[in-house]
Amino acid sequence: MAAPPDAPAWSPWRAVIGFGVISLAADMVYEGARSVYGPLLASLGASALVVGAVTGAGEAAALIFRAVSGPLADRTRRYWTLTIAGYALTAVCVPLLAVAPLLGSAGLTGAAVLILAERIGKAVRSPAKSALLADAAAQVGMGRGLGVHKALDQIGAFAGPLLVAGLIAVSGAIWPGLLALALPGAVAMALLVITRRRLPAPDSPGPDSRPSAAGTSSGRARVPLPPLFLRFAVGTTLCTAGLVTFGLISFSLVGRHLVPTAGAPLLYAVAMAAGALAALATGEVYDRVGPGVLLSLPLLVAGVPPLAFGTSLTPAVLGVLLWGAAVGVQDSTVKALVADLVPRDRRATAYGVFAALQGAGALVGGVAAGALYEHSVTTLVLVVAAVQAVALGLLVPVVTRHRASR
């Protein structure tokens, strides 16, 4: 498919930047909301277990449903349709969270449904968008391209929580901050229309696609995903299971009076800045040295609970920074290796399968973290450390074999 004659196609770098700016606006929306999920749910009557379950289930929904949307994108090649639909769902659901405090006893249920719906929007768009983005990033350096995209993404993730924090500080309530996120949501949708005209979905696989037994596009779609990819997915799933949600972290910080409610989105913004730096740094190292940089992920994840759930503010802030760095690596450099492990025309499917496994880890990890937090923070710290030791043991041979194949 060719770009319309009045809208010449963008260069690879411009395409990467285009997707990055869309993500910047969209991240203002959903990361601004995620920064106050803990205090919001608590204000509606949720316990630590409920907060862990809802936020964990939200992350699981954002990942597990990609096992459907990823293969659907590859099979139908409607990459842009799925991308736009997913962003639209997020742009609508987040501002509606402002209504939850007005619903009385139904507020907690309503908020939980909207949080899950917003995360499903993420699931609908992510594999298709990642496949489109990977096409451009492959031409400028996969790690570098995805790192730059993630850095732009994190600028929005930094600005959104700051906007929410400011409005909470001024109004004394959470709902005005959520309602204001309708504006960047509208901007994201407008930017999608512009980018769609300059970067239409590809009609055919590129020259790096691997041949199939059938020798056709449909035959390629039936080729099993490489075993090395599946091993990598399992190892990083354990990382996702061990990475406690910011909803639980903010619930703890506000509940223990280490920060005020308006301080939670400020800390989230700082975490997003750390994620941007981690994405840029690890992406550059990935392109120059190889995937060994990903072995840092289990170490980052293991360091979060003992710091974030500490008894004073300073170690808690350090824990939040580690959490942000881990999220940055997961959402950028980890995806670079996924793209390098599978054929191009199977990337959306691979991203979907990969995310589904991550989602299972997020769901189990979110519920377990909430329950363990209520029982014993020390036990939570030890369990996360043990799980990350297993994850590291699984990732080392994957990185070694991929380096040898290169």
What are the tens digits of pLDDT across the range 293-323?
A: 999 999 999 999 999 998 889 999 999 999 9
Type of residue found at 247: G
Superfamily name and number for 14-202+225-405: MFS general substrate transporter like domains (1.20.1250.20)
Cα separation values, 303 from 324, 387, 399, Å: 12, 12, 22
102 burial (CB, 10 Å; 0-12 / 13-18 / 19+) is: exposed
Angle at 91 between CA 90 and CA 93, to 5 degrees: 60
Q: Which two tokens stand for residue 134?
A: 């990977």
Least confident span in 28-32, 288-292, 342-346: 342-346
| Helix 79-96, helix 66-76: angle, nearest 10 | 150
Q: How far apart are CA 57 and CA 51, in angstroms?
A: 10
- Residue 48, pLDDT > 90, answer no
**pLDDT the model gives residue 246:** 86
pLDDT per residue as tens digits for the range 253-273: 988 889 888 888 889 888 888
How much is the mean pLDDT over the chain? 84
Region 77-95 average pLDDT = 92
- In terms of Cα–Cα distance, which of 1, 143, 112, 135 is closest to 46? 112
Q: How much of the chain is in helix, strand and coil states, percent to nearest 5?
A: 80, 0, 20
Q: Tell the residue number behind the tokens 């991203």, with chain if given.
A: 351
For CA atoms 67, 70, 76, 79, the dihedral sign is positive
**pLDDT the model gives residue 404:** 66
**DSSP-derived secondary structure for 270-313:** HHHHHHHHHHHHHHHHHHHT-GGGGGHHHHHHHHHHHHHTSSSH
Q: Tell the residue number behind the tokens 């072995």, with chain if given.
A: 295
288 burial (CB, 10 Å; 0-12 / 13-18 / 19+) is: exposed
pLDDT per residue as tens digits for the range 120-160: 998 899 888 888 887 777 777 777 777 788 778 878 888 88
**pLDDT the model gives residue 150:** 77
**pLDDT the model gives residue 208:** 41
Q: Tell the residue number behind the tokens 């512009």, with chain if given.
A: 194
pLDDT per residue as tens digits for the range 350-398: 887 888 888 788 888 888 998 899 889 999 999 999 999 999 999 999 8
Q: Tell the residue number behind the tokens 């498919």, with chain if given.
A: 1
Angle at 150 between CA 21 and CA 91, to 5 degrees: 50
Q: How far apart are CA 150 and CA 137, in angstroms?
A: 12
**pTM for this prediction:** 0.67
- Residue 169, pLDDT > 60, answer yes
126 Cβ contact list (under 8 Å, min separation 6) = 62, 66, 69, 86, 351, 355
Q: How far apart are CA 124 and CA 66, in angstroms?
A: 6
What percentage of residues in the chain have a pLDDT greater than 90? 30
Tally of residues, the chain: 406
pLDDT per residue as tens digits for the range 197-252: 877 545 444 434 444 333 344 444 456 788 889 899 999 999 999 999 888 898 88
DSSP state of 141: -
- Residue 119, pLDDT > 80, answer yes
